[in-house]
């Protein structure tokens, strides 16, 4: 049968989304929900990184850039955010209409609730607490385009020969494919392995690695729908790694800002020139 997917109730969001998005046919950004800031991606050795604030809630914001529906199978720390399974491309995800955008704010609990994504120390992450610590610190979005229905060609009718109803029904049964063949989606076993592992920086992190916790329940409503994928493999895979700013400094992914040198005054005893001040207010 066709894979069940989810349609989120989408809302219009600010234009700052595009400035710091990662992706091609879909744009992905990470948003600090406590501050409202979009986390700037840092490109390092072929991978994108963002600095998360420990304790903050965050969202994965996705925008469909095409004029057709897309399916976004989304994982955090190697775990599917809808089903809680160890993430695979053939699993459930969110369906986005043409041009739609939406913030995925947590682990899907029901059709009306999620458990908020929170930046936390890796031992307290949902993945590590459920015995899956190997992929803590990475967010993945596998984008699938929808299979479009094939046009039906009707040849021109030259003449008409009456056909008995019994013979007509038998002829239609012989030509129609079985129901399973009409609704079957690609088999999961042929998907292959996930993307290549990340390249780790040589410098050890000074603080515990950041992961994603299982936060408080929040209202988040979705509808269910069916989605037939154009192909078994994703049309695009977007990966964004994350850790604390201190760890990104230590790994050399983010450069520490240089302090501005103090400015010396060559005439410290001379009064400054005075001009007309602005009025109050």
Tokens at 4, concatenated: 């069940």
pLDDT band at 105, cuts 50/70/90? very high
Question: Residue 145 — pLDDT band, cuts 50, 70, 90?
Answer: very high
Q: Tell which wins on pLDDT, 27 or 154.
A: 27
The full DSSP string for the chain is -PEEEEEE------GGGGGG-B-SSEEEEEEETTT-PBPPPEEETTEEEEEE-TT-BEEEEEEE-SSS-EEEEEEETTEETTT-SBP-TTS--EEE-TT-EEEE-EEEEETTEEEEEEEEEGGGSHHHHTT-GGGTTEEEEEEEEBPPPPPPP-PPP-------HHHHHHHHHHHSPPHHHHHPPPPGGGS---SPPPPPPSSPPSSPPEEEEEEEEEE--EEEEEE-BSSSS-SEEEEEEEEEHHHHHHTTSSPPPPPPPPPPPS-TTSPPP--PPPPP-
Instruction: Give, rounded to a whole angstrom, the gap between the first and last alpha carbons of the chain.
Output: 68
pLDDT of residue 72: 96
Q: pLDDT per residue over 172-227, tens digit each?
A: 544 544 333 333 333 333 333 333 334 444 455 567 899 999 999 999 999 999 99
The angle at the Cα of 180, spanning 7 to 168, to the nearest 5 degrees, equals 120
Q: Where are the domains of the chain?
A: 3-147+161-250
**277 vs 218, higher pLDDT:** 218
Which of 17-26, 46-55, 112-121 shows the lowest per-residue confidence on average (mean pLDDT)? 17-26
Contact 49, 41 (CB under 8 A): yes
- Is residue 153 predicted with pLDDT exceeding 80? no
Mean pLDDT of 146-165: 69
pLDDT at site 18:
53
Say how far apart CA 195 and CA 199 lie, in whole Å.
Answer: 12
Mean pLDDT (the chain) is: 81
Which position has the higher pLDDT, 40 or 177? Answer: 40
> In whole angstroms, what is the distance from residue 58 CA to residue 34 CA?
7
174 φ/ψ angles, rounded to the nearest 5 degrees: -70, -30
Mean pLDDT value of segment 99-105: 94
pLDDT of residue 204: 58
- Answer yes or no: are the C-beta atoms of 55 and 64 closer than 8 Å: no
Overall average pLDDT of the 52-71 stretch = 96
270 pLDDT band, cuts 50/70/90, is: confident
Location of structure tokens 């948003």: 31
What burial class does residue 117 get, using C-beta atoms within 10 Å of its C-beta: 0-12 exposed, 13-18 middle, 19+ buried?
A: buried
pTM, two decimal places? 0.70
Contact 69, 146 (CB under 8 A): yes
Q: Which residues fall within 8 angstroms of residue 91, CB to CB, at 6 or more apart?
A: 73, 80, 82, 83, 85
Burial code of 77-98, b = ≥16 C-beta within 10 A, e = fewer? bbbbbbeeebbebbbbbbbbee
- What are the tokens at 129? 């607490």
Number of C-beta neighbours around residue 120 at 10 A? 21
């Amino acid at each position: 049968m066709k894979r069940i997917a989810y349609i989120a109730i989408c809302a219009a969001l600010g234009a700052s989304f595009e400035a710091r998005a990662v992706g091609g046919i879909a744009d992905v950004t990470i948003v600090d929900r406590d501050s409202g800031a979009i986390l700037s991606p840092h490109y390092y050795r072929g991978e994108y990184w963002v600095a998360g604030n420990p304790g903050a809630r965050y969202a994965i914001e996705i925008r469909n850039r095409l004029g057709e529906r897309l399916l976004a199978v989304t994982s955090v720390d190697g775990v599917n955010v809808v089903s809680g399974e160890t993430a695979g491309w053939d699993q459930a995800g969110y369906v986005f209409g043409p041009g739609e955008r939406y913030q995925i704010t947590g682990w899907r609990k029901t059709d009306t609730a999620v458990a908020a994504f929170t930046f936390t120390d890796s031992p307290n992450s949902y993945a590590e607490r459920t015995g899956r610590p190997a992929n803590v610190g990475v967010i993945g979005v596998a984008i699938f385009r929808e299979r479009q229905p094939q046009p039906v060609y009707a040849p021109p009718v030259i003449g008409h020969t009456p056909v008995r109803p019994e013979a007509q029904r038998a002829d239609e049964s012989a030509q129609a494919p079985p129901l399973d063949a009409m609704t079957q989606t690609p088999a999961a076993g042929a998907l292959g392995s996930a993307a290549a592992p990340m390249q780790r920086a040589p410098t050890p992190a000074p603080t515990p690695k950041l992961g994603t916790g299982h936060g408080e329940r929040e209202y988040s409503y979705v509808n269910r729908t069916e989605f037939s994928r154009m192909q078994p493999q994703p049309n695009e895979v977007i990966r964004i790694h994350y850790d604390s700013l201190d760890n990104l400094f230590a790994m050399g992914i983010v450069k520490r800002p240089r302090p501005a040198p103090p400015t010396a005054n060559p005439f410290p005893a001379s009064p400054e020139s005075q001009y007309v001040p602005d009025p109050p207010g």
